[in-house]
Chains A and B, each alone.
Chain A
Amino acid sequence: MEPIKAKEGEIFDIELEEDLLKKNEELARQNRKILDGYKIVAIDIMGSIGTGKTSLIKNLISHLKGKYEIGVIAGDLTTTIDADRIEKEGIKVIQVNTGKECHLDANLIKKALKKFDLGALDLLFIENVGNLICPADFPLGSHCRMVVVSVTEGPWMVRKHPYIFSQADVVVINKIDLAEAMKVSPEKLADDVYKINPAVKVIPANCIAGKGMKEIIQALSF
């Protein structure tokens, strides 16, 4: 017997108005509130793989240790290599492994903050996952966003990734000691950054030898 089938039901709209990126921004605002509550200055350090983010953090720590209580959140897909490197400076480090994600997000930072004795901290460095693209979409709640680019990546790194530079407060051009060998001009890289973001501070550096550290600290102005 052929049953009588009810007609497809009513059609209607459900207004969701759910903004997925705004959700991250809201969490970032909460992180900022927590940090401000403890008077902690947080610096988000972004840049592609192998650009010298960890070396920069290590060197900054050696300059600032003793003056400030410092904590570090190290982000990577996997391993604790970076956290282990930084821990040698005698600093509290939390490693965040994102698994497959190409960036840190505000939710992961919120979780990581719980692992610190926040009352004892003055400064927090957040090393983002090595990537010049995705972290730009995910603010973490930091007070300052720093991008590290190096001459060994070639002359077009800045032009190829304009968005991340447009959001940076400070840009470090690293490995300037290798500029000649690489035939890359740090000045041209800096020009490219200024074209994209006229308000940014660009500092040439050698993060292993410690060149440029004082200028970077000055630019961070915490």
Chain B
Amino acid sequence: MHDLSVSQAIARTILKQAKEKRVRKILSVNLELGELTFLNPEQIHFWLKELFKDTPAQGAKIYIKKIFSRIKCKKCEYEGSMSLRDDPFFHIYFPLLRCPRCNSTSLEIKAGREGLIRRIKVSI
């Protein structure tokens, strides 16, 4: 839902970098989005294409990598992926906030909440 405002922030950050480094063209953009965020790759892609029009980033390839969630259990020290609830009601795999080893609900989310601009490829 806030994909537009996040896309605007991404575009702003990238175009500012491009200006500072005096690059002529941005050829590609690599993003990483965590699966626990509400950022939808398809919408981010759409908005970035729009926002890049008439800028040095026009036509840039946009690569979006999905970052899978990883948790650490505060009780049994388990570190790894979350168990997924495959409930037909949700239509999606919903990550369950419970340690798959000891069932504890005291977890630390180590990965999956990213909204990262990893790098851009540019030409001068």
Q: Verify A11–B123 contact, CB threshold 8 A.
A: yes
Cβ-defined contact, A199 with B117, below 8 A? no
**Bound complex: CA of A166 vs CA of B106, how far in Å?**
12
A-B pair number, CB within 8 angstroms? 102
Instruction: Chain A residues near B9: list those with CB within 8 A.
Output: 20
Interface segment among A70-78, A128-136, A207-215: the answer is: A128-136
Asked whether B62 is an interface residue with its Cβ less than 8 Å from the other chain, the reply is no
Task: Report if B64 contacts A (CB, 8 A).
Answer: no
Task: Using C-beta atoms within 8 Å of the partner chain, give the interface range for chain A.
Answer: 20 to 34
How far, in whole Å, are A21 and B96 apart by their CA atoms in the complex? Answer: 22
**In chain A between 191 and 222, which residues have their CB closer than 8 angstroms to a CB of chain B?**
195-199
**With contact pairs A11-B121, A16-B13, A198-B97 given, residues A102 and B1 touching in the complex (Cβ less than 8 Å):** yes
Structural contact, B120 and A16, CB atoms closer than 8 A: yes
Expressed in whole angstroms, the Cα–Cα distance for A136 and B116 within the complex equals 17
Among B1-44, those with CB < 8 Å from A are 1-2, 5-6, 9-10, 13-14, 17, 21, 23-25, 27, 34, 36-39
Provide the main secondary structure of the chain B interface. Answer: mixed
Inter-subunit contact B113/A21 (CB<8 Å): yes
Contacts of A9 in B (CB 8 A): 24, 123-124
For the complex, is A116 an interface residue (Cβ under 8 Å from B)? no
Instruction: For the complex, count residues of B whose C-beta is within 8 A of A.
Output: 42
Question: Is A181 an interface residue, CB under 8 A from the partner?
Answer: no
What residues on A are CB-neighbors of B21 within 8 Å? Answer: 14
Q: Is B119 an interface residue (CB 8 A)?
A: yes
A46 to chain B, nearest CB (A): 13
Chain B CB within 8 A of A8 CB: yes
CA gap between A166 and B1 in the complex, in Å: 18
Interface centre among B1, B10, B34 (most CB of A within 10 A): B1
Indicate which residue in B1, B13, B98, B123 contacts A20 across the interface (CB closer than 8 Å). B13
A: residues with CB less than 8 A from B are 8-22, 25, 101-103, 131, 133-134, 136-137, 159, 162-163, 166, 195-199
**Residues of B in contact with A (beta carbons under 8 Å apart):** 1-2, 5-6, 9-10, 13-14, 17, 21, 23-25, 27, 34, 36-39, 85, 87, 89-90, 94-98, 105-106, 113-124
Q: Are B123 and A101 in contact (CB under 8 A)?
A: no
- Smallest CB separation, A210 vs chain B (Å): 30
**B residues within 8 A CB of A17?**
116-119
A10 to B25, CA, bound (A): 11
**Residue contact A21 to B114, C-beta cutoff 8 Å:** yes
With A14-B21, A101-B5 as contacts: A22 and B115 at CB distance below 8 Å: yes
Query: Which residues from chain A contact B117 at a C-beta distance below 8 Å?
Result: 16-20
Which residues of B are found within 8 Å of A19, using beta-carbon distances?
Answer: 114-117
